[in-house]
Amino acid sequence: MSGGYFVGVDMGGTNLRCGAVSRSGELLLLRRAPAEAMAAADTVVANIAANVEAVTREARGRGLGAPRGIGVAVPGPLDLISGTVTATPHVSAWRSFPLRARLERALHCPVAIENDANAWALGEFWRGAARGRSEVVLLTLGTGVGGGLIVGGRIVHGIAGMAGELGHVTVEPDGLRCDCGARGCLEAYASASGIRRLVENRLRKGAPMPALFTDAEGNFAVKRLADAARRKNALARSVFELAGKYLGIAVASFVNIFNPELVVIGGGVSGALPLMREPMMREIRKRAFAAALGKVTIVRAALGGHAGVVGAAYTAAQQMRAVIARD
Amino acid sequence: MSGGYFVGVDMGGTNLRCGAVSRSGELLLLRRAPAEAMAAADTVVANIAANVEAVTREARGRGLGAPRGIGVAVPGPLDLISGTVTATPHVSAWRSFPLRARLERALHCPVAIENDANAWALGEFWRGAARGRSEVVLLTLGTGVGGGLIVGGRIVHGIAGMAGELGHVTVEPDGLRCDCGARGCLEAYASASGIRRLVENRLRKGAPMPALFTDAEGNFAVKRLADAARRKNALARSVFELAGKYLGIAVASFVNIFNPELVVIGGGVSGALPLMREPMMREIRKRAFAAALGKVTIVRAALGGHAGVVGAAYTAAQQMRAVIARD
C-alpha cells in the first residue's frame, strides 16, 4: 500500500494542468497544456486523456510505476451522483455531459471528478493554508469567485455535489448583473471579470480601457489595476475599496453561518488583498458576531496555481479509500 | 440499554418548556413554566433545575425510571467547548456565563447544552420535517431568526458551537438596523420584531399601532397582520411582500452554498408563509442555480412548538452516545 501516486487534472478556462501527486500530497511532476475549453466535449475529453497519458508515461520513466487513481477538476457545477457536468459557464458545449463515464471509457480506469473550486479547496486543505484544520471557508477569487467548505474535516458536497458556490451569495440585491444571470452576487464585485466591470462603469461611456490597467497584449489585468492603486490612482483605489467592501459583507455572513476557525482567500485577484483588506475588515467587524469573529483567522492561500491539481489528486485518493472501505 | 428517557429543556424568551422524551424521540410528557429569562442567572439556573426535577418526579411516578441524560437549549450563541453562554440577546444577565457547569452542579449529573435554534433544528431532524434527510437548511422565524444546518446527517457546530446564525446573513447592506447591531440582516426583515418594524416604518410618524394588527392585550401580533393581509389590507400585504423577498434572497444564497435536499421553515412567523411564498420563490428562481434548485424542496416545519424540547433531548442522547463510544 505504500508508494504510488495519483494523477490530478485541473481544467481551467485557458490552461489544463495535469500532475503526478504522491500519497502524501506532494506534487511530483506537472504538465501544462492549453485547455481547449471551447472545443467540442469529445475533443476536451481526448485532450484530458492525452495529458494524463503523457504524465503517467513520464512518471513511469521516473520509476514511479502506475497511478493509483485519477482525479479531474472541471469548472462549474457537477452532479457528483451521476457524474455529469450540469452547466459550466466557460465550456458552453458541456450541458448534462456525462463527463465521468466518458473519461473512464477514454482512460480505461475509474476517475473521480470534482468541481474546480472544491478541488482547489481540497488542495489547500491537504497541503496548504488549511492543513490540519476542520472548519474552514475557502474562497478563490479568479475569473469568477468559487469556494469550498470544510466542515468536520470534510468537504461539503451537498446532495449532488453542487455545494460551495460561495461566489453566488447575494451581497447587493439590486446590484450589478453577475455572469450567472442574477444581480448582486459576490462574483459580480470580487472576481476579475467583476472588477473589470467596476472599472468600466467608472470610465466615460464608450471610453477604451486605459493602458494603465492593461497588460502587454492590451487586456485588462487586475494585477495592473493593483499596481495603479498602489501608486494612488483614485479610480483603481475606489474599485478595490468596493470589491473589499462586498468581500467583507460575504465573509461576515460566512462567519455567522459556519463559525469557522479559518477563512482562506486565494485566486489571482487575492494578490490585491492588501488593497481590499481595510474595507473588508470594516464590514466584517460591523456584521459578524464578535464571539465568532474572535475564533477566526483570515489568511491567504498557500499553494498558488497548483492547488487544483493537488486537490484533484486528493479526490482520487479519497475515492480509492472509499472503494477500499467498501470492499 | 433499551427503555429509558431523556429530559429536554427549551428556554425561550417567555416560556420554559421541559419534557421527557423517549429514546426514539417521542415526547412522553411536557411541562411549561415562565422562563424568568430576565432574572439573575442564578435564578434562571434554579428555575431550570426545579422544572427538570418536577419532570423527572412525574416520569418516575409513571414508571419511566430515571432520565438517561439532560439537554438544555438556550437562546443565543454558546461556546460549546467551554460550555459558556457568550451572549444572549434576550437574557441580559448571561454574558460569559458558565451555564453547563452551573447546571451540572445544580442537577448533579452531566448536562448537554445547545443553542435554541440548533435544538429546534435537531428536533425537526430527529422526528419532524427533516427526518431521515442528510443535507438540510432549517430556518426558524420567531422573535428573531435562527437556523440550523444539517450536513452529512449531522448538525454543523463550527469551531465553537456558534454556527447556524442564518438570521444574520446580510440581505441588504444598507438596510434596516438589526437587533444584533448590523444593518440589513435577514432577521431585520423576516422575524416578528423585524416585521413589526416594517409596519411601524409604514405608519405616520408617532402613530399608534392600528388595532387591526394587535392582539387582545394591544400588542403587535404577526398573526393579526397576516389575517389583515388575507383580507387584502394593503399595508399588511406590502410588509409580507418585502419579508418574503428578503427570505427568498437568503434562501437562494443557502441553496447555492449548501446544495441542500430540503429547506425547512418554521417558527411563529412561518404561519404567514403562504403570504410570503410568491415573492420568496421569485427571488429564489432569480438567484439560485437551476441545477441546485431542482434538487431542493422547501417545506414547513412539522413539530410546532415542541421541536426545541425534542432537539434538546436529542443533544443529550448524542452526548451520551459519545460518552459510551469513548468508554
Question: How is domain B5-123+305-326 classified at the architecture level of CATH?
Answer: 2-Layer Sandwich (3.30)
- Over range B233-247, report the average pLDDT: 98
- Report pLDDT digits (tens) over B271-310: 999 999 999 999 999 999 998 999 999 999 999 999 999 9
- Over range B2-16, report the average pLDDT: 85
Q: Which of A253, A260, A291 sits opposite B170 (nearest CB)?
A: A253
CA quadruple A129, A132, A136, A142: dihedral positive or negative? positive
Mean pLDDT (chain A, rounded): 92
Q: Answer whether B160 sits within 8 Å of A86, measured CB to CB.
A: no
Establish if B183 touches chain A: CB-CB under 8 angstroms: yes
Establish if A152 touches chain B: CB-CB under 8 angstroms: yes
Q: Which of A134, A173, A256 sits opposite B249 (nearest CB)?
A: A173
Q: Grid coordinates standing for A193?
A: 471579470
Q: Answer whether A259 sits within 8 Å of B149, measured CB to CB.
A: no
ipTM surpassing 0.95 = no
Distances (CA, A) of B306 to B25, B58, B146, B166, B302: 11, 18, 16, 21, 10
By C-alpha distance, which of A268, A137, A139, A274 is closest to A196? A268
- Report pLDDT digits (tens) over A221-236: 999 999 999 999 999 9
What topology is assigned to A5-117+305-326 in CATH?
A: Nucleotidyltransferase; domain 5 (3.30.420)
Domain ranges of chain B: 5-123+305-326, 132-302
Checking if the pLDDT of B63 tops 90, the result is: yes
- Report pLDDT digits (tens) over A236-287: 999 999 999 999 999 999 999 999 999 999 999 999 999 999 999 999 999 9
pLDDT-derived band at A214 (thresholds 50, 70, 90) equals very high
Give whichever of A295-304, A314-323, B102-111 has the largest mean pLDDT: A295-304
Please report the beta strands in chain B, taking only residues with DSSP state E, as ranges in sequence order. Answer: 5-11, 15-22, 27-34, 67-74, 78-79, 84-85, 111-115, 136-141, 145-151, 154-155, 262-266, 297-300
pLDDT-derived band at B1 (thresholds 50, 70, 90) equals very low
CATH for B132-302 is: 3.30.420.40
- Over range A79-99, report the average pLDDT: 70
Contact present, A179 and B283 (Cβ < 8 Å) = no
Query: Given this model, what pLDDT does residue B321 score?
Result: 75
CATH for A132-301 is: 3.30.420.40
CA distance B116 to B126: 15
Residue type, A192: A
Contact present, A313 and A114 (Cβ < 8 Å) = no
Q: Answer whether A152 sits within 8 Å of B149, measured CB to CB.
A: no
- Report pLDDT digits (tens) over A17-42: 999 999 999 999 999 998 876 677 78
DSSP string, B226-266: HHHHHTT-HHHHHHHHHHHHHHHHHHHHHHHHH--SEEEEE
Contact present, A47 and A16 (Cβ < 8 Å) = yes
CA distance A148 to chain B (A): 9
Report chain B residues whose CB lies below 8 A from the CB of A180. 289
Q: Answer whether A158 sits within 8 Å of B259, measured CB to CB.
A: yes
Q: Which of B154, B183, B258 sits opposite A163 (nearest CB)?
A: B258
- In sequence order, the 6+-apart residues with CB closer than 8 A to the CB of B60 are B66
By C-alpha distance, which of A198, A225, A203, A199 is closest to A213? A225
Interface test with A, best of B253, B263, B318 (most A CBs within 10 A): B253
CA distance A229 to A112: 42
pLDDT-derived band at B37 (thresholds 50, 70, 90) equals low
pLDDT-derived band at B206 (thresholds 50, 70, 90) equals confident
Mean pLDDT (chain B, rounded): 92
pLDDT-derived band at A91 (thresholds 50, 70, 90) equals low
Intrachain domains A5-117+305-326 and A132-301 with the same fold: yes
Q: Answer whether A260 sits within 8 Å of B159, measured CB to CB.
A: yes
Nearest-10 Cα torsion for A37, A42, A45, A47: -70
- In sequence order, the 6+-apart residues with CB closer than 8 A to the CB of B54 are B18, B31
Nearest-10 Cα torsion for A199, A202, A207, A210: -50
Please report the beta strands in chain A, taking only residues with DSSP state E, as ranges in sequence order. Answer: 5-11, 15-22, 27-34, 67-74, 78-79, 84-85, 111-115, 136-141, 145-151, 154-155, 262-266, 297-300
Residues of chain A with pLDDT > 70, as a percent, come to: 94
∠ CA B252-A116-A121, rounded to 5°: 85
Q: Which of A86-100, A292-306, B52-66 has the lowest mean pLDDT?
A: A86-100
Query: Given this model, what pLDDT does residue B109 score?
Result: 86
